[in-house]
């Protein structure tokens, strides 16, 4: 194998293939990137960790065709640090890389030990705009469960029904859902879950793709292949049934508030320093007449804070509502919304709160569970600052409600999907606090 190639082109395919390389490969050959040069002037780079395979191609001046498996990190680092025209020449398992101020020799693995590209049988084909797929990943990946023992919850679940599609993820306390429509119609419903890690790498590749690119998806029994111009991303699918996400989302809402995303984010950050370290709870009082949301936090023996942001209510209710929420969860949701304005929807203080972008490329929804807050929560604010806080009631102890539990009105009863989602997570959380009294959050 011998070829000449512009550094930027080689660096690009290496960076892409490198995304699939595990930092601790289970087999030494998986620490390599496979380079294949064809006489038609195409060069491909492939990286794999067996769960995820990335194969990408570019053009080069190929003098002699051939293949070589070279240490992925070393090769990528080396090529990233040279400039101009590069020559690659392979003799046995070694590759000589010549650039304008020197050369280096890398000793590689045996190319025939490198795994072949996985091929699924009888695939179903779906086409989706690359930018919409990327928006769907941005809007869901952050709600997957990072804990590898949670299996199916570590992935993003996709559903296709006639010409509608949706992507969803949840870790039991927060949930994200993105929906859109397709150009084709599918007669049978399709349901599959892709590992979050694979999608995280796909997301990086999609972010580099052109606005007009289409992603061709081939779905088989055990694998999924995402094809973009010059790049294929092939991932295994996660086994197991995904929780019935849609039944967890309330269909009607008693309250709806529109507010400016950045202003809300800043106010949350300001009060976050005075929330308890462990369970960062903010109590938000939605004041209908004053058209403002007032945020309260309190940290024992340290202090407390109150802040407010303007909002537009759209509700027939005349009573204010006060809800306890985890600040980190809220900030995480807001970080993954790109529109200037957001819509917050809720019912009772113990039921899920929904945050949606106002506009945007796709229908997007973030669901977060409320936290019960303790009696006398903003007492210190009242005593010391004589602010708007003085008219507030005083709710209860902190306890993040589990999604499945809270979607049902009657306390402690569980709806059908609860065991699928976070039964053990909930148990783990409650044990340490089981001695505390839980109280209903009071509404103002």
Which chain residues interact with a copy of itself by CB under 8 A?
71, 74, 77-78, 81-82, 91, 94, 96, 98, 101-107, 266-267, 269-271, 273-274, 295, 301-309, 380-381, 384-385, 387
Beta carbon nearer to a copy of itself, 78 or 350: 78
- Shortest distance, CB of residue 381 to a copy of itself, whole angstroms? 7
- Shortest distance, CB of residue 106 to a copy of itself, whole angstroms? 4
Q: Compute the C-alpha angle 439/388/271, nearest 5°.
A: 70
Beta carbon nearer to a copy of itself, 379 or 439: 379
The set of residues, in sequence order, having a beta carbon less than 8 Å from that of 74 and lying 6+ positions away, is: 106
Give, in order, the Cα–Cα distances in Å from 299 to each of 264, 278, 279. Answer: 21, 10, 10
Beta carbon nearer to a copy of itself, 176 or 305: 305
Residue 120: burial class (beta carbons within 10 Å; 0-12, 13-18, 19+): middle
State the residue for tokens 């010549």: 98
* DSSP code per residue over 77-124: HHHHT--SEEEEEEETTEEEEEETTEEEEEE-B-GGGSPPPP--SS-E
CA distance 206 to 208: 5
The set of residues, in sequence order, having a beta carbon less than 8 Å from that of 178 and lying 6+ positions away, is: 135, 136, 139, 140, 166, 167, 168, 362, 363, 364, 365
Residues in the chain: 444
- Shortest distance, CB of residue 171 to a copy of itself, whole angstroms? 27
CA distance 417 to 406: 12
Q: Which of 175, 168, 161, 218 is nearest to 193 (CA)?
A: 168
- Shortest distance, CB of residue 310 to a copy of itself, whole angstroms? 10
Sign of CA dihedral 371, 375, 381, 387: positive
Beta carbon nearer to a copy of itself, 81 or 127: 81
Beta carbon nearer to a copy of itself, 87 or 408: 87
Give, in order, the Cα–Cα distances in Å from 391 to each of 221, 294, 302, 378, 394. Answer: 59, 12, 23, 10, 10
- Shortest distance, CB of residue 24 to a copy of itself, whole angstroms? 16
CB atoms within 10 A of CB 58: 20
CA distance 327 to 126: 38
- Shortest distance, CB of residue 261 to a copy of itself, whole angstroms? 15
Beta carbon nearer to a copy of itself, 391 or 413: 391
Beta carbon nearer to a copy of itself, 309 or 362: 309
Beta carbon nearer to a copy of itself, 178 or 268: 268
Beta carbon nearer to a copy of itself, 251 or 386: 386
- Shortest distance, CB of residue 307 to a copy of itself, whole angstroms? 3
- Shortest distance, CB of residue 404 to a copy of itself, whole angstroms? 35
- Shortest distance, CB of residue 77 to a copy of itself, whole angstroms? 5
Residue 204: burial class (beta carbons within 10 Å; 0-12, 13-18, 19+): middle
């Amino acid at each position: 194998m011998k070829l000449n190639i512009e550094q930027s082109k080689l660096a690009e395919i290496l960076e892409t293939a490198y995304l699939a390389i595990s930092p601790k490969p289970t087999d030494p050959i998986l620490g390599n990137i496979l380079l294949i040069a064809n006489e038609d002037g195409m060069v491909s780079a492939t990286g794999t960790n067996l769960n995820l395979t990335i194969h990408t191609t570019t053009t080069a001046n190929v003098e002699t065709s051939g293949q070589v498996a070279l240490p992925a990190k070393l090769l990528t680092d080396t090529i990233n640090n040279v400039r101009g025209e590069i020559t690659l020449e392979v003799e046995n398992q070694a590759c000589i890389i010549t650039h304008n101020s020197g050369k280096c020799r890398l000793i590689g693995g045996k190319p025939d030990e490198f795994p072949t590209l996985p091929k699924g049988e009888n695939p179903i084909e779906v086409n989706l705009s690359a930018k919409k797929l990327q928006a769907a990943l941005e809007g869901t990946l952050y709600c997957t469960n990072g804990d590898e023992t949670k299996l199916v919850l570590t992935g993003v679940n996709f559903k296709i029904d006639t010409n509608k599609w949706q992507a969803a993820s949840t870790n039991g306390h927060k949930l994200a859902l993105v929906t859109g429509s397709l150009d084709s119609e599918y007669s049978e419903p399709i349901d599959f879950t892709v590992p979050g890690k694979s999608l995280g790498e796909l997301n990086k590749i999609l972010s580099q793709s052109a606005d007009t690119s289409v992603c061709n998806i081939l779905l088989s029994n055990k694998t999924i292949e995402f094809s973009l111009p010059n790049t294929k991303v092939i991932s295994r699918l996660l086994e197991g049934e995904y929780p019935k996400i849609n039944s967890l989302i309330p269909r009607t809402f008693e309250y709806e508030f529109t507010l400016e995303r950045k202003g809300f984010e800043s106010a949350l950050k300001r009060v976050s320093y005075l929330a308890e370290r462990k369970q960062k709870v903010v109590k938000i009082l939605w004041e209908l007449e004053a058209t403002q949301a007032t945020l309260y936090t309190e940290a024992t023996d340290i202090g407390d804070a109150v802040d407010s942001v303007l909002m537009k209510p759209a509700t027939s209710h005349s009573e204010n509502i006060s809800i306890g929420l985890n600040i980190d969860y809220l900030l995480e949701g807001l970080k993954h919304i790109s529109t200037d304005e957001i819509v917050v929807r809720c019912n009772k203080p113990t039921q899920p709160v929904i945050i949606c972008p106002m506009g945007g490329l796709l229908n997007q929804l973030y669901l977060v569970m409320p936290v019960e807050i303790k009696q006398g929560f903003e007492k210190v604010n009242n005593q010391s600052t004589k602010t708007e806080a003085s008219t507030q009631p005083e709710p209860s102890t902190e306890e993040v409600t589990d999604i499945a539990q809270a979607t049902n009105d009657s306390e402690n009863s569980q709806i059908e999907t609860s065991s699928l989602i976070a039964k053990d997570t909930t148990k783990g959380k409650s044990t340490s606090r089981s001695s505390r009294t839980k109280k209903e959050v009071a509404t103002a």
